[in-house]
């Protein structure tokens, strides 16, 4: 579906029917859906196909990280499946990212957006040091995001805290996809540094990954519309 919905709902279910029951309660005109490693590993491409057939844009969040040839083939498989967005780890390197982007060229306007993961929000400075990286997470995110842009990618996943600096340095067309979003008053769960949907958009986010505040709502469509209304 071609629309400007900014909310990407994270479908984190270990049961396919529960996910499909939820999906029937929200409109593909008002959101897109993110399918990650858990659901893909349990339910596979057939599950993704069902969501697409229901009219949803799907972000296939498998964070590919492998040699360039393998990643190019993996993103090709994602394009064949018909997903709207797919991602790779920027730390796979510029050659890997370039090859992945080139593999999608033949799909023209139907190619999925190709997004890079920079530094996972679960990594702190000490953990980066253990990996031999002597930068702060923030510096390393900026470094990898620039590398992703220079390699031709369409954007990055980052925290909303990093969005404003990345928007300034990498320009308005480079898409920023941000998790860790909580509507005012919502339960934070295990997210530590959160922003409201409106704050994240104002900071420069293009797409907001939101899971539990919508999936666990009594009325998911109403919650989604409330969020969308704050973004106008």
120 binds ligand OMP per the rule CB under 6 A: yes
Q: Which long-range contacts (CB under 8 A, 24 or more apart) does 194-203 make?
A: 195/160, 195/161, 196/230, 197/6, 197/7, 197/227, 197/230, 197/231, 198/230, 198/231, 199/160, 200/160, 200/163, 201/6, 201/231, 203/160, 203/161, 203/163, 203/164, 203/167
Backbone φ and ψ of 15, nearest 5°:
-130, 120
Residue whose structure tokens are 């409109």: 27
Here's the x/- map for ligand OMP, 49-68, by CB under 6 A: it reads as ------------x-------
**Residue 211 marked ligand-binding:** yes
30 binds ligand OMP per the rule CB under 6 A: no
**Residue 76 marked ligand-binding:** no
CA distance 142 to 48: 32
210 binds ligand OMP per the rule CB under 6 A: yes
**Residue 3 marked ligand-binding:** no
Nearer to ligand OMP, 110 or 119 (CB): 119
Catalytic member of 6, 57, 61, 101: 61
Which two tokens mark 173? Answer: 């067309």
Output the smallest distance, CB 119 to ligand OMP, in A. 8
Q: Number of residues in contact with ligand OMP, rule: CB under 6 A?
A: 15
H/E segment holding residue 226: helix 220-230
Mapping DSSP to helix (H, G, I), strand (E, B) and coil, where does residue 175 land?
strand
- Which member of 29, 95, 189, 193 binds ligand OMP (CB under 6 A)? 189
Point out the residue whose Cβ comes nearest to ligand OMP: 211
**Residue 121 marked ligand-binding:** yes
Q: Which residues are catalytic?
A: 61, 63, 66
The residues that touch ligand OMP, with contacts defined as CB under 6 A, are: 10, 12, 36, 61, 120-121, 157, 179-180, 189, 191, 209-212
């Amino acid at each position: 579906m071609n629309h400007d919905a900014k909310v990407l709902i994270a479908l984190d279910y270990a049961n396919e029917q529960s996910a499909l029951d939820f999906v029937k309660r929200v409109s593909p005109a008002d959101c897109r859906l993110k399918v990650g490693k858990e659901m893909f590993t349990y339910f596979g491409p057939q599950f993704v196909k069902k969501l697409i057939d229901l009219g949803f844009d799907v972000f296939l969040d498998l964070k590919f990280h492998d040699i360039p040839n393998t990643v190019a083939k993996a993103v090709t498989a994602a394009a064949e499946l018909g997903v709207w967005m797919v991602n790779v780890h920027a730390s796979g390197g510029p050659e890997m990212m370039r090859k992945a982007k080139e593999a999608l060229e033949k799909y023209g306007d139907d190619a999925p957006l190709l997004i890079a993961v920079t530094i996972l929000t679960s990594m702190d400075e000490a953990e980066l040091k253990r990996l031999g990286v002597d930068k702060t997470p923030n510096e390393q995110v900026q470094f990898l995001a620039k590398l992703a842009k220079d390699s031709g990618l369409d954007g990055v996943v980052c925290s909303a805290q990093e969005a404003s600096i990345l928007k300034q340095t990498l320009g308005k067309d480079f898409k920023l996809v941000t998790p860790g979003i909580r509507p005012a008053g919502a339960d934070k769960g295990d997210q530590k540094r959160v922003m409201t949907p409106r704050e994240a958009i104002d900071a420069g986010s293009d797409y907001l990954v939101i899971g539990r505040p919508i999936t666990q709502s009594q009325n998911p469509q109403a919650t989604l519309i409330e969020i969308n209304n704050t973004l106008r």
